[in-house]
Amino acid sequence: MKNNKLKETPHIKPNGVEIAETMFLPGDPLRAKFIAENFLEKPVLFNEVRGMLGYTGEYKGKKVSVMGTGMGSPSMAIYSWELINIFGVKSLIRIGSCGAMQNDIKLYDIILAMGAATNSNYAHQWNLPGQFPITASYELLEKAKKIADEKNYKVHVGNVLSSDVFYNADETATEKWAKMGILAEEMETTSLYLNAASAGAKALTILTVSDHMITHEQTTQEERQTSFTKMIEIALDII
């Protein structure tokens, strides 16, 4: 494993603690704390800049790290870029919440984001002569689906909407995306998948349905923080 003990950025200061090559990325830093304390052995805090908690520990004898990313593509873009390009992280698995867009998807169902539609302009910086397909690592996706099936978890595999807009003035937006087969909406996958692709890293987004954009059902903040354990188990077992 690489030596990153002396490296730091304005947003991540490990203070001598090693960051593993496999990283789990919940949006909520308190979910990162929950994962570290309940799933990892010997967790050590490696970051608390801006309250964005990060920990390194072991899972079944393998070193792994977990850190919050905050909300939205720009926040994910900063953290994932630094983790990949400064700290040498090779595999990044986002474990987050989403709003379902299809009637057959229920609260607490798990979604594996095969690809991401987006209204973000994050890809413009690469000056590509066309549109880039924003897709997951097939290796990670295949493993996640196999693990979920073995555990008999309710899982949907398909495209999500990675949106820069949480409160949308266009009241027809959800219906339009749903007609295109989009499973759910979230806000971070675009920049994660693009950063990984640009640097040759692997990335996958695993989501738990926290609310429903058609039925308007929703979970509580506490439930989002501590009870979305099935996707955490899938992510950990991938390694």
Q: Give the model's confidence band at 1: pLDDT under 50 very low, under 70 low, under 90 confident, else very high.
A: very low
Listed in sequence order, the residues at least 6 apart from 120 whose beta carbon sits closer than 8 Å to its beta carbon are 73, 162, 163, 164, 190, 191
Does 70 belong to an annotated binding site?
Answer: no
The length of the chain in residues reads 239
Q: What is the pLDDT of residue 226?
A: 65
**Predicted TM-score (pTM) of this structure:** 0.94
Cα distance between residue 108 and residue 161, in whole Å = 18
Does 96 belong to an annotated binding site?
Answer: yes
138 by Cβ neighbours in 10 Å (0-12 / 13-18 / 19+) ranks as exposed
Does 224 belong to an annotated binding site?
Answer: no
Q: What is the pLDDT of residues 119-172, one digit of tens each?
A: 999 999 999 999 999 999 999 999 999 999 999 999 999 999 999 999 999 989
> For a pLDDT cut of 90, what percent of the chain falls above it?
91
Q: What is the pLDDT of residues 85-134, one digit of tens each?
A: 999 999 999 999 999 999 999 999 999 999 999 999 999 999 999 999 99
**Is the four-CA dihedral 84, 87, 90, 93 of positive or negative sign?**
negative
Does 104 belong to an annotated binding site?
Answer: no
At residue 109's C-alpha, the angle toward residues 191 and 236, to 5°, is 60
Task: Provide the pairing of β-strand 41-47 with 155-162.
Answer: unpaired
Q: Hey, what are 209's tokens?
A: 């349905």
* Residue linked to tokens 């506490």: 222
Three-state SS at 5 = coil
Mind listing the domains of the chain with CATH numbers?
A: 22-238 (3.40.50.1580)
Rg (alpha carbons) of the chain, rounded to whole number: 17
At residue 20's C-alpha, the angle toward residues 15 and 25, to 5°, is 95
Cβ proximity of 107 and 211 under 8 Å: yes
**Is the four-CA dihedral 110, 114, 120, 122 of positive or negative sign?**
positive
211 annotated active-site:
yes
Catalytic residue among 28, 104, 109, 211: 211
Does 186 belong to an annotated binding site?
Answer: yes
